[in-house]
Chain A
């Protein structure tokens, strides 16, 4: 278990082995991102579309002078799209050296999880589950912890035609 945490933790685990995750909702499911990856959370604003991109790339926004691409996570996970409402937010995350915005239904809270309550992703055979680092249990909630690098890394290189 330690190795799992060490591997994906960017340094927020203190000596007691507690990690913090920002949780958010997508299509009534709960997901978590390491809190240190999160730069800020902002309301959904107008997005400038980029031509000829996969459907999940909504476009780019101006984040105080930086042009930041926006990914709709519902589209990324092939979930049915939803109307954007007042709860719809953009979570701005750091992926490697890059900054990206994720559109999610709503943010919930910050979850403190001890190492012992993170479970390994169940092996689903042929299905690639690498984008989930583990499942965190908190009370009766089950939060899927996302591996942002794996999930979004492919967006940075142009698809080979």
Chain B
């Protein structure tokens, strides 16, 4: 039977990543509370899971490395070692090495450079010579005592055994590595007739006698990944004298079933040799089914493929549209039959949509936790004392947003720690406490999530930024920009004011990348800074990328959606209040402020119908602090729309952020205010060109 291991491997990589994250988090906590047994257990469990899984999936390097690591953890747990700072440091590097090894196995990334060093360091702490450093990964780490003997292993796989990607032969092979298999008996009494057999189900069970020097614990380790329905039992049939007294009979919930299938198939050979012992045999452990129950108390999760989830959410989006189409049709039927039940259905559908969108929401805690490590490493490297505080870890965001915000956030946090916070000496000199504080806060407000990174460091050096900007030619030498403008300069490409380039940051590819990534997520970033007192960077992100609150407007026969977030207000003004200014185009004055007017009909190439009532309907929108007035024919209302990407089947269109499907099944385009203002600029530029061209023509012509 062929198993597609690659599929399971992918799951292993994901899971290993999560275990590593867990380990890292626990290690960081361990620094402050080195005696916390629960933390040590968490770390140990994570390492153990990684070891077991990596061996199963043939990622042996990880298995071997983790094995050594586990030995060390074991001693920590037993209290033989103390979790002091260097040791935690070593363990953290070990986490990195495992991460690197997994990356290596996953997509051939180069092996982590410090592999050898960390490995031998682990051995040194363990007190084991490096020479015997390559133990069989399947060896359980637990018992060193000579607890061997002759064991009988009963293995009763569940019918779904194969579907979980398991294979009895592999288990038996793994067992055989632990000792000599003396006898394997197969029980075929559950095997149905050929006509009833289901090729994917497992009907067999086994009884394996094995002579081994290992402790029964090692035998059990072989079965640690059994699915819930399967059961196994190990009994000693001829324990070695040393280990016999240690066997404790453990009550087993699965006894009846196991006895049911294990009797009646003992071979004569065995009965002759050990008739008494088998009667007294002590079952050591219950089934695999009992282990997960302890976990079930914690947050139980189901792993679902991202694409399937997206498809589900998409389909529910369609359902919403479908339901509103039916509703509209019902409305047009005189008599109002069915409207009531339709309203009830509509409510269910909307609830369903809300729930489906919630499926993709994940708390930002995991990302924040990563920052913890970043701060710690930077602080160690540059010799600073930094206290890192997070707030609002439970704030939920769309998974896509969370995944993509991680890198920019690392940049920001690094910058804060490296540039923002001063060295302890400098801080004391300025009258601050030696320890700097970096605070990362997440909160939700309206349809947005805000991430706020605050440090109490030196703040932005206005003078240097201005000097640099002039030096780089970003600003003319005699310019006098406002304070906010100076602060925003750090988001310019290639702008870094770090006095020296450290290997942590300062290469000038920080903040502009942050801004670009945030904007790609339809968010924005701003900075506030008080010199000498620190900076606050605020990132605004949409809750989700899947839906959008939109203002529906009509332009001739077409419906367009303007993102409600950018809409300030809509007004109606008489046409004679629109002024033409050469080189700027049409403008209006809105409470004393001059606002450019963009004629959407013209920019979007739509036939405009001349309005005769002398009034113009304008929607005032704001994009990155700039206001503009968009000329529309009618406001249709406000609606949540499901965003459809135009690139999926087409390409990016200037001025258009995407499309959506309206209640009547029609497609409406979503306007991109930034793109529209660019279109306006281009239009102006070409108009100016035309003016210049016609002017020079008239000069050239003889009359």
Contact surface of A with B, Cβ cutoff 8 Å: 46, 48-53, 59-62, 64-69, 98-100, 155-158
- Give Cα A25–Cα B646 distance, bound, in whole angstroms: 29
Task: Across the interface, name the chain A residue whose C-beta is closest to B658.
Answer: A67
B666 touches A67 (CB 8 A): no
Interface flag for B603 (CB, 8 Å)? yes
- Give Cα A98–Cα B519 distance, bound, in whole angstroms: 26
A65 touches B605 (CB 8 A): no
B318 touches A64 (CB 8 A): yes
B646 touches A65 (CB 8 A): no
Interface window among B181-189, B403-411, B649-657? B649-657
A156 touches B661 (CB 8 A): no
- Give the residue of B315, B321, B666 whose beta carbon is less than 8 angstroms from that of A48: B666
Interface flag for B256 (CB, 8 Å)? no
A50 touches B648 (CB 8 A): no
B604 touches A52 (CB 8 A): yes
Question: What are some 6 contacts across the A-B interface (CB < 8 A)?
Answer: A50-B656, A51-B603, A60-B650, A65-B317, A67-B649, A98-B648
Shortest distance between the CB of B671 and any CB in chain A (Å): 10
Measured between beta carbons, the chain B residues less than 8 angstroms from A62 are: 661, 665-667
- Give Cα A88–Cα B208 distance, bound, in whole angstroms: 73
- Give Cα A50–Cα B666 distance, bound, in whole angstroms: 13
A60 touches B667 (CB 8 A): yes
Interface flag for B288 (CB, 8 Å)? no
A99 touches B649 (CB 8 A): yes
Measured between beta carbons, the chain B residues less than 8 angstroms from A50 are: 646, 650, 653, 656, 669
Q: Which of B318, B604, B650, B651 has the most CB of A within 10 A?
A: B650
Shortest distance between the CB of B645 and any CB in chain A (Å): 8
Task: Across the interface, name the chain A residue whose C-beta is closest to B646.
Answer: A67
A52 touches B653 (CB 8 A): yes
Given A46-B666, A48-B558, A62-B667, the answer on whether A67 and B644 have CB atoms closer than 8 Å is yes
Task: Across the interface, name the chain A residue whose C-beta is closest to B676.
Answer: A51
B651 touches A155 (CB 8 A): yes
List 14 additional A-B contacts (Cβ < 8 Å) besides A50-B646, A50-B656: A46-B666, A50-B653, A51-B605, A51-B606, A51-B655, A52-B605, A52-B655, A52-B679, A59-B667, A62-B666, A62-B667, A68-B649, A69-B650, A99-B649
Task: Across the interface, name the chain A residue whose C-beta is closest to B603.
Answer: A51
A66 touches B558 (CB 8 A): no
Given A48-B558, A156-B650, the answer on whether A67 and B667 have CB atoms closer than 8 Å is yes
A53 touches B644 (CB 8 A): no
Docked complex: B313-365 residues within 8 A CB-CB of A: 314-315, 317-318, 321
Measured between beta carbons, the chain A residues less than 8 angstroms from B656 are: 50-51
- Give Cα A147–Cα B76 distance, bound, in whole angstroms: 68
Shortest distance between the CB of B669 and any CB in chain A (Å): 7
Shortest distance between the CB of A56 and any CB in chain B (Å): 13
Task: Across the interface, name the chain B residue whose C-beta is closest to A101.
Answer: B649
Task: Across the interface, name the chain B residue whose C-beta is closest to A64.
Answer: B318
- Give Cα A98–Cα B651 distance, bound, in whole angstroms: 10
Task: Across the interface, name the chain B residue whose C-beta is closest to A100.
Answer: B649
